[in-house]
Amino acid sequence: MKLFVKEKCDVKETEVEIRCRTRDREVDDLIAGLRSATNTIIGEKENGDVCQVPVVRILYFEAIEGRVFAYLEQEVIKIKSTLYEIEDAYKANYFVRISKSTVVNLRMIKNMRPEEGRRVRIELKNNEYLIVSKNYVGDLKKALGMKEAR
């Protein structure tokens, strides 16, 4: 793949054009990545301030006692959506459920290794570890392209 960037003073809004022989998975992934770069989510900081955060900055979402939190590198914000809504809204943006209470950003995974009981331990780019429940390991592998879809 070749990438060209041209700056033009007279352009009012950024435009992206993709030229390809055929639309394949690489092109679809590129489109999804471009779309996800502009997606934002609204949340509430610990001090009560409302903020808007780019979804690509979120490491993972976690549900705790009926509330959903988005974890970023330096802070945690409370989200008003349910984990099911988050999972559905952002699955095309590289998010996948890894347990009953956690949805992770695949782009934030640094490495992973097997654990006891058919679970998997993932390390995120901020060096935090999460455990993938055995019931969700197949979904994670499929999302990462390590396993064929059935």
Domain ranges of the chain: 39-143
Rounded CA-CA distance 33/37 in Å is 6
Strand (E) positions, 1-150? 40-44, 50-54, 60-64, 67-71, 76-79, 95-99, 102-105, 109-114, 120-124, 129-132
In order along the chain (150 residues), what is the average pLDDT of each group of 10 residues?
85 87 87 76 93 93 96 94 91 89 95 93 96 94 77
CATH placement of domain 39-143: 2.40.50.1020
What was the pLDDT predicted at 147? Answer: 72
Residues in the chain: 150
